[in-house]
């Protein structure tokens, strides 16, 4: 009896086609409803385009267009890129076969991981509209452009080529896909726009054009002219945070004969000395056969990993966006909000379960942002925006576990998502992002990641606080400045005119009122044709660069002459050009001047230029003083050393 | 005060600022603190005046510097007006400041306040500065003949019952002797009424005729001219004054400003206050005695009542008892609540009873 059931089941099992598999799992894959479907479809296509462009070293130019189809709720999605194109032979399997991909087995930061992506979109389109996908691809200016119409044979999970032609396509290289699918544009639009905007934020090197069904065009401009550093594939795990199960498996499968070699060869960041130290800590013989480790000994090894200082994993497998570019991107995409300030930070890489990861965070504050609403959270994993399941994501959890009341935001009970005029940006980059599910919408709550996210957010919060307090101080002194430069002279003039007397000299009253050294700065940008890459190397391409011109004014409003040193912090990316007066020191991080003696009410000016930055990258001076009581000075803080 | 004196006083302010600057001092002017904490009873004048406490306006702070600059501008503006024999309303002063660049006022409240500051600093009245309010006159009905000098300089006599409509005689902003004279009066007392509704009720019921009363509509917190004319009638015609208001903390302040002088204008209390004016009602005791309809005290009401307990002007047994009773009741009431017993109740029963208790009418 039981056996018969098994046979029955087996029959059914054989009949499960990819169509059925898809039908059963479509919610996990992101096609659960027509609103999600259009967003997922665009997302899969755009992620592929970005990955392809980066692999080929091309600055991505992507056009996303949505058109209305013939039937109700039928849409046509068009995604066109300037990527390297796909060789003719590969086109059918890439678009017509599920689980066909090249990234599945590599330890490396990339957008797509499972290879379920674009073919699932083709399948969804086919199942929902009965129409086939159209693919055009060209791999070089002197090569033909191929046009394919592809369907999926759902029984055999194999591509069905409906049409194949060579056509004339004026693009030098690239891929264009057109897929009909059932989707709810009116509801999906908001998410789609958000996805594209957010994608543009984390991919400052990409230009994305979005054309809506009504013909409306939105362009998300490129704000960085350099591709992210190419990531290097990592073949081995890092010992930090590796799980017991994985370790046991590795011990069992290793070809090494000695524990020491096992540690040195099967892990990254493990040299001779570190490996010895681990063995010693675990009280294990470095010469013993790794296959013979008992469970208890493996546990000791695992604990030793935590106790011995092991070098961080190499960072070249990760591609963080970087502080400067995050700020620049956020600034560009929030320009309509005109925020008060933007801060960003990139943490050093860290490791969980042997996987390197790196967290970046940013805060956009003030401007037209609503003060009464919960803060907005922009979440990203490997440069891909995460739009759904916010509550389950480690980024949200970490954010909710910080007491934001200390940083001037409202938060009931010091827990949960705070309320205030802020946008939070969190990016987790990893060779393996631990998503909570296949739809890749939330990152699992891994303690190591949560901790790093918290540290990154706190760092931003501190910067935010510094900024606010500096701003308040400046505002107060700006008021005093107004007082002595405008109001007081006017009082003197008026009182004199009422009495028909000469206007009295007010200098001495001015120093009495101010009683500080006032440091003010002014930043200007000048567009130039070529970008300076270093002191004597100019960019060969015709580009539009910018010179940041900084003028610092020091006025002594104390009643006695003063002499002190001034430091101006600069971004390490920036190259110092013309400087006047001559500084006593220029380093990667700052410029230092020894100012001459400044007499009461006397003014001293400093001017310098920075190259290698874009307009707006450097919009606020960080100034420090030495050799003078810091409380005498407004506009600069005490120099605490490097 | 003559124009010349006013000009001299204004120049003194400019001179103080100018001399400070010349002596390398941060310019500063001082004036009495215009607050509840700084009013004291002047036994000689029988009114509440500002005490010793003074605050300074110094150019050390932005606000102080702005005030000094504005003071200079206003002083200069007044000087020009006096020289050109013109006058302006307080509202016009506020709008004129639009052209003063940095010295521009942000609200009329600010310019009104500064005008009052100038009064306290110089001891002049704002009339001396050619500044007048756009007070839409409160009203008078009663058996009194007033002679008013009109715009054309002609003197016109007005009988405040026969020559006026139901709205009564409208009190002009200037009620000084050169403008207004009391020619004839045949009445026993002045009844100052807070609300228009109650004023109209008494007029309709003919209370001024039946009870030989001069009815004055206070129109909420009374304007200077209203208080001044009450004071003049009280002094020159020897008529006792009774104040009839709602039963809430804000109404008590109306009474206080009539009788004792307002905190904001304590520098000129002797011109405006009628120390002998009595509070007729509605009192918290009336709520109990007449079983009047009530509303609950709001948080603001309670706060205001408590603040009155520390106001030196209310430091009498009568007020302390009444305010404490009201806090205990947690209730407030209105003049017009008396209509509970019919439209004539106020004129036939309530007012006669209350006035009798003050010895004005027999029951």
**Measured between beta carbons, which residues in chain A are less than 8 angstroms from residue B27?**
491, 495, 509
Q: How far are the Cα atoms of A403, A565, B242, B279 from residue B355, in angstroms, in the given order? A: 66, 82, 9, 11
**Domain identity same for B229 and B108:** no
In a domain, B137, yes or no: no
Tell me how close the Cα of A506 comes to any Cα of chain B, in angstroms: 6
In a domain, B69, yes or no: yes
In a domain, B62, yes or no: yes
CATH number assigned to the domain covering A316-466: 3.30.230.10
Domain ranges of chain A: 13-220, 244-312, 316-466, 507-638
**Cis preceding linkage at A63, omega within 30:** no
Residue of B nearest to A478 (CA): B62
Q: Is the pLDDT reported for residue A541 higher than 50?
A: no
Query: Any CB–CB contact under 8 A between A491 and chain B?
Result: yes
| Among B18, B26, B68, beta carbon nearest to A501 | B18
Per-residue pLDDT tens digits for A352-385: 877 889 999 999 998 888 888 999 999 999 888 8
**Domain identity same for B117 and B217:** no
Which residues, at least 6 apart from A130, have a Cβ–Cβ distance to it below 8 Å?
none
> What is the pLDDT averaged over residues A76-90?
91
In a domain, B352, yes or no: yes
| Among B21, B22, B72, beta carbon nearest to A498 | B72
| Among B14, B21, B66, beta carbon nearest to A498 | B14
Per-residue pLDDT tens digits for B117-129: 888 888 888 888 8
Q: What are phi and psi of A191, to 5 degrees?
A: -70, -40
Structure tokens at B206: 């003919």
Annotated active-site residue B95? The verdict is yes
> Is the Cβ–Cβ distance between B117 and B13 less than 8 Å?
no
Per-residue confidence (pLDDT) for residue A116, from 0 to 100: 60
> What is the pLDDT averaged over residues A439-456?
91
Dihedral of the CA atoms B269, B275, B277, B283 (nearest 10)?
90
Per-residue confidence (pLDDT) for residue B56, from 0 to 100: 84
Q: Identify the contact set of chain B against chain A, taking CB-CB distances under 8 A.
A: 10-11, 14-15, 17-18, 21-22, 24-27, 59-62, 65-66, 68-69, 72-73, 75-76, 79, 102-103
Structure tokens at A570: 């600069």
**Domain identity same for B90 and B8:** yes
Domain boundary among B132, B164, B198: B132
Query: Any CB–CB contact under 8 A between A485 and chain B?
Result: no
Reported ipTM: 0.73
Q: Do A487 and B60 touch (CB under 8 A)?
A: no
Per-residue confidence (pLDDT) for residue B57, from 0 to 100: 86
Query: Any CB–CB contact under 8 A between A522 and chain B?
Result: no
In a domain, B209, yes or no: yes
Beta strand pairing call for B241-244 and A637-638:
unpaired
Burial state string for A553-584 with b = 16 or more CB within 10 A and e = fewer than 16: ebbbbbeeebebbbbbebbebbbbeebeeebe
* Percent of chain A clearing pLDDT 90 (strictly above): 30
**Domain identity same for B104 and B210:** no
Q: Is the pLDDT reported for residue A26 higher than 50?
A: yes
Q: What value, to the nearest 5°, has the Cα angle with vertex A100 and ends A99 and A103?
A: 100
* Percent of chain A clearing pLDDT 70 (strictly above): 91
Q: How far are the Cα atoms of A133, A558, A631, B25 from residue A600, in angstroms, in the given order? A: 77, 6, 17, 17
> Is the Cβ–Cβ distance between B172 and B137 less than 8 Å?
yes
Instruction: Tell me the average confidence (pLDDT) per consecutive run of 10 residues in chain B, 363 residues long.
Output: 80 91 90 83 82 85 89 90 87 90 88 89 84 79 92 89 90 86 93 93 93 92 90 94 95 92 84 92 93 93 92 90 95 93 93 89 51
Which residues, at least 6 apart from A404, have a Cβ–Cβ distance to it below 8 Å?
A410, A411, A414, A418, A420, A461
Query: Any CB–CB contact under 8 A between A498 and chain B?
Result: yes
Question: One of B50, B73, B95, B341 is an active-site residue; which one?
Answer: B95
Per-residue pLDDT tens digits for A594-607: 999 999 889 999 99
Tell me how close the Cα of A637 comes to any Cα of chain B, in angstroms: 23
Q: Is the pLDDT reported for residue A434 higher than 60?
A: yes
**Domain identity same for B336 and B205:** yes
Largest CA distance in chain A: 120
Per-residue pLDDT tens digits for A243-292: 788 888 888 888 889 999 999 888 888 888 889 999 998 898 989 998 88
**Domain identity same for B213 and B337:** yes
Which of the pair, A12 or A567, is modelled with greater confidence? A567
Q: Is the pLDDT reported for residue A20 higher than 80?
A: no
Per-residue confidence (pLDDT) for residue A352, from 0 to 100: 87
**Domain identity same for B103 and B206:** no
Tell me how close the Cα of A516 comes to any Cα of chain B, in angstroms: 13
The CATH label, of 3.40.50.261, 3.30.365.10, 3.30.450.20, 1.10.8.50, for the domain at A244-312 is: 1.10.8.50
Query: Any CB–CB contact under 8 A between A5 and chain B?
Result: no
| Among A479, A480, A494, beta carbon nearest to B69 | A494
> What is the pLDDT averaged over residues A147-152?
91
Tell me how close the Cα of A634 comes to any Cα of chain B, in angstroms: 16
Of A53, A118, A111, the residue nearest A85 (C-alpha): A53
Per-residue confidence (pLDDT) for residue A103, from 0 to 100: 46
| Substitution target from B9, B11, B17, B81 for chain A, most A beta carbons within 10 A | B17
Q: Do A487 and B25 touch (CB under 8 A)?
A: no
Per-residue confidence (pLDDT) for residue A61, from 0 to 100: 94
Q: Is B96 exposed, middle or buried (0-12, 13-18, 19+ CB in 10 A)?
A: middle
Question: Which strand (E) or helix (H) includes residue A343?
Answer: strand A341-346
> What is the pLDDT averaged over residues A129-137?
91
Task: Provide DSSP, A220-265.
Answer: E----SSPPPPPPPB-S--STT--HHHHHHHHHH---SSHHHHHHH
**Measured between beta carbons, which residues in chain B are less than 8 angstroms from residue A494?**
14, 69, 72-73, 76
Domain boundary among B104, B132, B160: B132
CATH of the domain at B290: 3.40.1360.10
**Domain identity same for B201 and B280:** yes
> Is the Cβ–Cβ distance between A420 and A97 less than 8 Å?
no
Per-residue pLDDT tens digits for A335-356: 888 888 888 999 988 888 778 8
Tell me how close the Cα of B103 comes to any Cα of chain A, in angstroms: 8
In a domain, B263, yes or no: yes
> Is the Cβ–Cβ distance between A448 and A350 less than 8 Å?
yes
In a domain, B272, yes or no: yes
Question: Which strand (E) or helix (H) includes residue A610?
Answer: strand A603-611
Per-residue confidence (pLDDT) for residue A115, from 0 to 100: 45
Query: Any CB–CB contact under 8 A between A601 and chain B?
Result: no
Which residues, at least 6 apart from B291, have a Cβ–Cβ distance to it below 8 Å?
none
Which of the pair, A186 or A465, is modelled with greater confidence? A186
* Percent of chain B clearing pLDDT 90 (strictly above): 52
Per-residue pLDDT tens digits for A455-473: 999 989 888 887 777 777 7
Per-residue confidence (pLDDT) for residue A395, from 0 to 100: 93
CATH of the domain at B7: 1.10.10.10
In a domain, B128, yes or no: yes
Domains of chain B: total: 2
Tell me how close the Cα of A561 comes to any Cα of chain B, in angstroms: 19
**Measured between beta carbons, which residues in chain B are less than 8 angstroms from residue A501?**
18
| Among A480, A492, A508, beta carbon nearest to B62 | A480
Domain that holds residue B227: 186-357
Per-residue confidence (pLDDT) for residue A114, from 0 to 100: 45
Domain boundary among B70, B102, B132: B132
Per-residue pLDDT tens digits for A102-124: 444 445 566 654 446 788 899 89
CATH number assigned to the domain covering A13-220: 3.30.565.10
CA A128, distance to chain mean position in Å, is 35
CATH homologous superfamily for A507-638? Mu homology domain, subdomain B (2.60.40.1170)
């Amino acid at each position: 009896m039981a056996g018969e059931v098994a046979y029955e089941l087996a029959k059914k099992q054989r009949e499960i086609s990819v169509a059925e598999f898809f039908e059963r799992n479509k919610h996990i894959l992101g096609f659960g409803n027509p609103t999600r479907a259009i967003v997922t479809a665009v997302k899969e296509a755009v992620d592929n385009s970005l990955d392809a462009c980066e692999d080929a070293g091309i600055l991505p130019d992507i056009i996303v267009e949505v058109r209305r189809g013939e039937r109700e709720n039928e849409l046509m999605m068009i995604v066109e890129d300037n990527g390297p194109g796909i060789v003719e032979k590969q086109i059918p399997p890439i678009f017509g076969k599920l689980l066909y991909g090249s990234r599945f087995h590599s330890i490396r930061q990339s957008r797509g991981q499972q290879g379920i992506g674009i073919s699932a979109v083709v399948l969804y389109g086919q199942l929902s509209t009965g129409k086939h996908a159209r693919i055009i691809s060209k791999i070089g200016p002197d090569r033909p452009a191929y046009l394919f119409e592809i369907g999926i044979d759902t029984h055999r999970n194999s591509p069905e080529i409906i049409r194949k032609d060579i056509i004339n396509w004026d693009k030098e290289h690239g891929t264009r896909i057109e897929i009909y699918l059932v989707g709810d544009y009116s509801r999906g639009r908001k998410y789609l726009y958000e996805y594209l905007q957010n994608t543009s934020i984390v991919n400052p090197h990409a230009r994305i054009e979005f054309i809506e069904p009504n013909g409306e065009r939105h362009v998300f401009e490129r704000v960085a002219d350099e591709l992210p550093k190419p990531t290097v594939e990592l073949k081995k795990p890092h010992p930090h945070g590796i799980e017991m199960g994985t370790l046991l498996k590795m011990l069992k499968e290793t070809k090494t004969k000695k524990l020491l070699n096992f540690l040195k060869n099967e892990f990254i960041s493990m040299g001779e000395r570190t490996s010895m130290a681990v063995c010693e800590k675990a009280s294990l013989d470095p010469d013993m056969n790794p296959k013979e480790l008992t469970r208890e000994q493996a546990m000791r090894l695992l604990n030793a990993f935590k106790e011995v200082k092991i070098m961080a994993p190499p960072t070249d497998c990760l591609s963080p966006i970087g502080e400067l570019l995050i700020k620049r991107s956020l600034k560009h995409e929030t320009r309509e909000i005109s925020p008060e300030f933007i801060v960003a930070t990139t943490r050093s890489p860290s490791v969980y379960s042997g996987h390197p990861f790196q967290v970046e965070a940013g805060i956009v504050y003030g401007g037209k942002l609503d003060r009464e609403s919960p803060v907005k959270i922009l979440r990203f994993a490997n440069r891909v925006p995460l739009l759904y399941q916010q509550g389950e994501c480690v980024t949200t959890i970490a954010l909710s576990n910080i007491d934001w009341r200390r940083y001037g935001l409202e938060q009931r009970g010091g827990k949960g998502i705070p309320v205030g005029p802020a946008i939070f940006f969190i990016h987790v980059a990893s060779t393996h992002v631990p998503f909570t599910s296949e739809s890749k919408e939330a990152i699992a709550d891994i303690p190591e990641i949560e901790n790093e996210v918290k540290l990154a957010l706190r760092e931003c919060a501190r910067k935010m606080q510094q900024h606010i307090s500096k701003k308040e101080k400046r505002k107060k002194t700006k008021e005093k400045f107004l007082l002595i430069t405008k109001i007081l002279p006017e009082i003197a003039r008026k009182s004199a005119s009422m009495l028909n007397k000469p206007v009295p000299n007010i200098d001495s009253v001015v120093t009495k009122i101010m009683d500080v050294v006032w440091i003010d700065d002014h930043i200007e940008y000048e567009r130039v044709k070529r970008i300076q890459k270093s002191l004597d190397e100019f960019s060969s391409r015709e580009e539009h660069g910018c010179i940041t011109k900084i003028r610092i004014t020091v006025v002594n409003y104390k009643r006695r002459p003063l002499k002190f040193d001034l430091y101006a912090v600069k971004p390490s990316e920036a190259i110092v050009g013309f400087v006047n007066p001559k500084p006593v020191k220029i380093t990667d991080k700052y410029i230092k001047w020894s100012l001459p003696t400044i007499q009461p009410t006397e003014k001293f000016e400093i001017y310098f230029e920075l190259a290698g930055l874009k307009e707006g990258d450097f919009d606020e001076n960080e100034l420090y003083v030495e050799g003078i009581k810091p409380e005498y000075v407004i506009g600069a803080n005490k120099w605490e050393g490097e | 005060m003559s124009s010349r004196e006013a000009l001299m006083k204004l120049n003194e302010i400019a001179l103080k600022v100018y001399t400070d600057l010349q002596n390398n001092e941060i310019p500063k002017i001082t004036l009495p603190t215009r607050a509840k904490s700084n009013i004291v009873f002047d036994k000689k004048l029988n009114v509440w005046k500002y005490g010793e406490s003074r605050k300074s306006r110094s150019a050390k702070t932005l606000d102080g510097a702005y005030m000094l600059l504005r003071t200079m501008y206003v002083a200069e503006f007044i000087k020009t007006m006096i020289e050109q024999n013109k006058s302006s309303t307080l509202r016009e002063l506020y709008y004129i400041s639009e052209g003063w660049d940095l010295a521009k006022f942000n609200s009329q409240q600010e310019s009104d306040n500064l005008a009052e500051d100038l009064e306290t600093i110089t001891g002049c009245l704002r009339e001396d500065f050619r500044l007048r309010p756009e007070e839409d006159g409160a009203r008078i009905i009663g058996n009194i003949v007033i002679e008013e000098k009109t715009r054309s300089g002609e003197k016109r006599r007005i009988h405040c019952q026969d020559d006026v409509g139901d709205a009564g005689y409208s009190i002009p902003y200037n009620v000084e002797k050169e403008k207004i004279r009391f020619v004839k009066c045949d009445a026993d007392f002045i009844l100052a009424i807070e609300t228009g509704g109650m004023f109209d009720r008494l007029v309709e019921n003919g209370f001024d005729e039946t009870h030989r009363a001069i009815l004055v509509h206070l129109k909420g917190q009374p304007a200077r001219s209203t208080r001044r004319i009450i004071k003049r009638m009280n002094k020159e015609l020897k008529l006792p004054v009774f104040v009839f208001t709602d039963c809430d903390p804000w109404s008590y302040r109306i009474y206080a400003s009539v009788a004792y002088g307002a905190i904001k204008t304590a520098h000129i209390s002797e011109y405006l206050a009628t120390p002998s004016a009595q509070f007729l009602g509605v009192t918290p005791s009336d709520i109990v005695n007449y079983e009047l309809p009530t509303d609950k005290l709001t948080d603001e009401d309670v706060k205001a009542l408590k603040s009155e307990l520390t106001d030196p002007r209310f430091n009498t047994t009568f007020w302390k008892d009444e305010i404490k009773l009201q806090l205990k009741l947690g209730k407030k009431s209105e003049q017009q609540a008396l209509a509970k017993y019919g439209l004539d109740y106020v004129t036939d029963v309530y007012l006669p009873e209350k006035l009798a208790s003050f010895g004005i009418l027999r029951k």
